[in-house]
Amino acid sequence: MRAELKNYQHEQYYFKLRLGFTAFVVLALFGVLAARFFYLQIKQYQHYQTLAENNRISLVPIIPNRGLILDKNGVVLAHNFFVYTLEITPSKIKNLEETIAQISQLVEISTLDRKRFNKFREQSHSFESAPIRTHLNEIEAARFAVNHYRFPGVEIKSRLYRHYPLGKLGSHMVGYIGRINDKDLANLDKAGDLSNYKGSDHIGKSGLEQYYEKNLHGSTGFQQVEIDADGHAVRVLSSNAPVPGDNLILSADSKLQEIAETAFGDKRGALVAINPKTGEVLSYVSQPTFDANLFVDGIDVENWKALNESLDKPLINRPLRGIYPPGSTFKPFAALAGLEAGKRAPPFSISDSGFYTLPGSSHRYRDWKPSGHGMVDMQRAITISCDTFFYGLAMELGIEKLTSFVRHFGFGQKSGIDIQGEIEGLLPTPEWKMRRYKQPWYPGETVIAGIGQGYTLVTPLQLAQATATLANNGVAMKPHLVTQIQKAITGENQQISPIVQDRIELNPTNLDIVRRGMVDVTLPGGTAASVGANAPYAIAAKTGTAQVIGIKQNEKYNANSINERHRDHALFIAYAPADDPKIALAVIVENGQHGGSTAGPIARKVMDYYLLGKLPASETIAGSAANATSVLAKPVPATPAITPEEELHD
Amino acid sequence: MISKLSQLVFKHIDSFLMTCLFFTLLAGLFILYSASGQSLSRVLSQGINIIVALSLMWAAANVPPIKLERIALPLYIVGVLLLIGVALFGSISHGARRWLNIGFTQIQPSEIMRIAMPMMLAWYFSRQEGKTRMADFAIGGLLLLVPVALIMKQPDLGTALLITASGFYVLFLAGLSWRLLLGGAVLFAATTPILWSMLHDYQRRRIEILLDPSQDPLGAGYHTIQATIALGSGGTAGKGWLNGTQAQLDFLPERTTDFIFAVFGEEFGLLGNLLLLVLFSLIIMRGLVIASQAQTTFTRLLAGSITLTFFTYAFVNMGMVSGILPVVGVPLPLISYGGTSMVTLCLSFGILMSIQTHKKLVGM
């Protein structure tokens, strides 16, 4: 009993000892916690305070409204409207497939929507929302809103969408916007504009939308908002309003554009009309065209394939990027080159027997008229498009003099128009040929350069620009589509003033000779007499034909036997009224064969509307059925081996 | 008459402990109101939990310890059987099998074990009174390991940890030799590298993240990172009640339950935290005093274990919220929202009060 009691006391002593030990440990560990609190809440207070603020406050970009694009009469070519979109943030969704399946019971989701969604997802981070459906109508939006609670991570958003009300009309000119891709981001980064695109999804990809991106986009505003962990704004702390993009007002007239595009019918080609006194572009046609609205949302594969693989190459911006041999439309410029060099001024005449030979050679450079034109002076040579006359002129002038003179008219260089992607075309020189082909220049190449054949390549824009410069007595105005930039907030207009690009010193007498030659072209006896029929104003014009494939010596060109897409391109340049030019234009109809009969009537309709306000008769210029097999939209320059021996004219 | 009635009602209530509990529970309700986004219904529901828990506490306080001693073994056996039942027939929720459907309601047998485990071990060692041998500790260890293993398998790491702790405290207070403790620690340290090398990569990764949550800032680390931001930005005096940005703007996950302490620390600052530590310390110290004054081995061991388990709750929760301990699902005692842990806790406080108020006057 005593031992037990002693044992008991002993045990209680040890128990209390251990209890004391634990009390000490408890206090020590609480001391550790207190030290930790002190460290976090006193020592590191600033650090965590900052982190908490960063957590709490977020800068939310406010996307500015993109500027409108209007024609000269205020007709809207590009505008914006709000649409409801249904957007999914993939990182917040457990089972994406199931969620989409459930959503599709509320709002229709097509396979196209699915494809587009998948494409967006590939391009963006999983914490960014991507639209599964766009353009929800009110009923669909309401139906989803009621069921919203079932779909965390799925939101209805309202996005500003770009819309091109005229669809296909002038789409190469207006261009389109598309989603910002990695390349765009890199460019924006380089330009230091990245912060201005926070929140923007779209950027101009082509045409005016691309060139005037800076004006159209506007400045992004910011809102300082308190957000919760899900990123929902709880309240706005401060805000900085966005500045909407500027509106663009064009020199082009959508009605004129429509007339020009309709005049092409189903023909491929291009038309550029310029006000020669200001450089304002009045019409900018590339046919066939495409619906720019397809690109805004991200074009789907089917439509893309259809456009991209079409033989008609609707995506090529022909005025800027289509290159063609100028053919006989080059002759007025060659004529001026000769006259200004003091050569071939009237009364100089040749007796044309139908061909031209180089001294010491039997090779015949044929005229388009095998029997020849008889006595021909400069003015008549233009009117009847006498090849022989210009063969000799080019030889006498030499290739260097010829090209250095016509270069002032804008051939072989970019015009500086307000659309990106222009190509230079080609004005050949012996140095160029040596560089390019490691071959010397042959005299025969100079001969055919006189009639715009051989290596020379021009874009429709260059041809129009050269015609405008000619019409403006040698004063080259920089071509531009936008005439006014309108500030959206103040309404203040910034006029784009005409810019003189080059001032070619030309003798008025020489100019007059060329002008009279060109006016006669549209009069009875000229190569485009039908174009000028019953015109109440004088039209100075020149027809041209450019070969798509070379024709061998002694081979006869037979339009009927040749594949439609191998037929010659028809060219036509003109300005009117000839004594006080208000419009200068160039028309190219691919495989149109004869400048006077296919390209000329299109030009006449444009001029009639522009000068007289006259609408064309209801019948359209019908081209032959375009069911051919293969051809390049971009004509291949003829190489010396297949140099054309003769050019065919109307 | 009234004083007589009140004496009858409060006869077995320890006023000092009760006062400390009252203030802690009150603080808990206030911070719950803030953490729940000012939801009165949430506070009301917690109020009902507290009333139920305090009633059970009162009932437990009125049960003499001798009766507790008698039900220790049956309770333990029932608890283990129910745990086996959970393992076999339990319903799964949130990826864990913790609940057992017993016809009219669902119960969580691991909660029973929180009370049953220290009772069982205290009962076992009280029978060996005065002549505890090494073998008894081995048996005690086994009694501890079986239910813990079952709970680990559910898996419920937090509860397993707390039950292990409650059992270990009994073993320690019963006189587990220092040499054995030290030996165990050395053995653990020595085998850790070997065990580590036996693990799969993904298992290692999970342990690494458990020990250092910042390695996985969007996953497991998110809780800890946001909680430390909340605490740290609270500063000395806190952002003020209902003004914690981390809490009010949803950055804190589980902020009414396991992470409620982050809300407390953000809104009441260092001063609030220290006050809470003082309240907890007073409760623990009172519990240790009750243990030291207890008259039987059973009550001594039980009171000690209950008190130290309460401490473990508080320490592990505040440690994990403040980022010095890995995140295991342990609520902050008396403050976190939830009925089950509130009931279990108050029951254990009731037992403490019973031990204190049922002492016989023995002349030594």
Place of tokens 């090398």: B197
Mean pLDDT, to the nearest integer, of A405-419? Answer: 93
Spot the catalytic one: A283, A328, A385, A597.
A328
* pLDDT tens by residue, A177-194: 988 888 888 888 887 777
Q: Is B250–A52 a contact, with Cβ atoms under 8 angstroms apart?
A: no
Q: Is B318–A27 a contact, with Cβ atoms under 8 angstroms apart?
A: no
Per DSSP, A86 falls in state E
Mean pLDDT, to the nearest integer, of A301-323? Answer: 88
Choose between A126 and B100: higher pLDDT.
B100
- Cβ neighbours of A48 in B, within 8 Å: 228-229, 231-233
* Distance (Å, whole) CA A127 – CA A59: 17
Residue A244, pLDDT above cutoff 70: yes
Could you report how far apart the first and last alpha carbons of chain B are, in Å?
Answer: 36
* pLDDT tens by residue, A584-617: 999 999 988 877 788 999 999 999 999 998 887 7
Q: Is A56–B265 a contact, with Cβ atoms under 8 angstroms apart?
A: no
* pLDDT tens by residue, A547-574: 775 444 444 555 555 577 778 899 999 9
Label the pairing between strands A247-250 and A482-486.
antiparallel
> A24 at the B interface (CB within 8 A)?
no
| Mutate which: A40, A53, A92, A228, vs B, most B CBs within 10 A | A40
Choose between A547 and A325: higher pLDDT.
A325
Q: Which of B129, B231, B280 lies at the smallest CB-CB distance from A41?
A: B231
pTM of the model: 0.61
> A52 at the B interface (CB within 8 A)?
yes
How big is the CA angle at A628 (ends A287 and A322), to the nearest 5 degrees? 35
* Distance (Å, whole) CA A368 – CA A270: 25
How far does B233 lie from chain A, in Å, by closest CA?
4
Compute the Cα dihedral for A308, A120, A147, A158 and give only its sign: negative
On whether ipTM exceeds 0.90, the answer is: yes
Choose between B242 and A225: higher pLDDT.
B242
Residue A388: partners with Cβ closer than 8 Å, 6 or more residues away: A350, A352, A353, A354, A355, A356, A365, A367, A372, A373, A376
> A17 at the B interface (CB within 8 A)?
no
Query: Which pLDDT does position A83 carry in this prediction?
Result: 83
Contact B148, B164 (CB under 8 A): yes
Place of tokens 């009441």: B268
The mean of the pLDDT values for chain A is: 85
What the block records as the tokens of A489 is 């907030």
- Cβ neighbours of B235 in A, within 8 Å: 41-42, 45, 49
> B287 at the A interface (CB within 8 A)?
no
Decide: helix, strand or coil at residue A147.
helix
Q: Which of A108-122, A137-151, A344-358, A607-621 has the lowest mean pLDDT?
A: A607-621
* Residue A114 pLDDT grade (very low, low, confident, very high; cuts 50, 70, 90): confident
* Residue A124 pLDDT grade (very low, low, confident, very high; cuts 50, 70, 90): low
* Residue A638 pLDDT grade (very low, low, confident, very high; cuts 50, 70, 90): very low
- Angle, helix B109-127 to helix B134-152, in steps of 10 degrees: 180
Residue A631, pLDDT above cutoff 50: no
> B236 at the A interface (CB within 8 A)?
yes
Label the pairing between strands A475-477 and A500-503.
antiparallel
What is the full DSSP assignment across A284-344?
EEEES---THHHHT---HHHHHHHHH-TT-TTS-HHHH--B--GGGGHHHHHHHHHHTT-S
* Distance (Å, whole) CA A601 – CA A617: 12
Q: Is B273–A34 a contact, with Cβ atoms under 8 angstroms apart?
A: yes
Mean pLDDT, to the nearest integer, of A374-384? Answer: 92
Decide: helix, strand or coil at residue A117.
helix
* pLDDT tens by residue, A436-484: 999 999 999 999 999 998 899 999 999 999 999 999 999 999 999 999 9
Q: Is A41–B300 a contact, with Cβ atoms under 8 angstroms apart?
A: no
Nearest CA in chain A to B317: A33
Query: Which pLDDT does position A169 carry in this prediction?
Result: 92
How far does A133 lie from chain B, in Å, by closest CA?
29
* Residue A301 pLDDT grade (very low, low, confident, very high; cuts 50, 70, 90): confident
> A33 at the B interface (CB within 8 A)?
yes
Q: Is A41–B235 a contact, with Cβ atoms under 8 angstroms apart?
A: yes
How big is the CA angle at A511 (ends A506 and A516), to the nearest 5 degrees? 180
> A150 at the B interface (CB within 8 A)?
no
What the block records as the tokens of A632 is 């390049």
How big is the CA angle at A461 (ends A455 and A467), to the nearest 5 degrees? 90
Query: Which pLDDT does position A231 carry in this prediction?
Result: 65
Give the type of residue at A560.
N
* Distance (Å, whole) CA B298 – CA B123: 6
Contact A116, A298 (CB under 8 A): yes
Q: Which of A101-115, A224-238, B308-322 has the lowest mean pLDDT?
A: A224-238
Residue A133, pLDDT above cutoff 70: yes
Q: Which residues of chain B have a pLDDT value below 50?
A: 363-364
Q: Is A19–B315 a contact, with Cβ atoms under 8 angstroms apart?
A: no
How big is the CA angle at A391 (ends A389 and A394), to the nearest 5 degrees? 105
- Greatest mean pLDDT among A310-319, A639-648, B147-156, B220-229 lies in A310-319
Query: Which pLDDT does position A648 carry in this prediction?
Result: 37
Query: Which pLDDT does position A415 carry in this prediction?
Result: 92
* A328 in catalytic set: yes
* pLDDT tens by residue, A355-366: 888 888 888 888
> B16 at the A interface (CB within 8 A)?
no
Residue A485, pLDDT above cutoff 90: yes
Query: Which pLDDT does position B220 carry in this prediction?
Result: 62
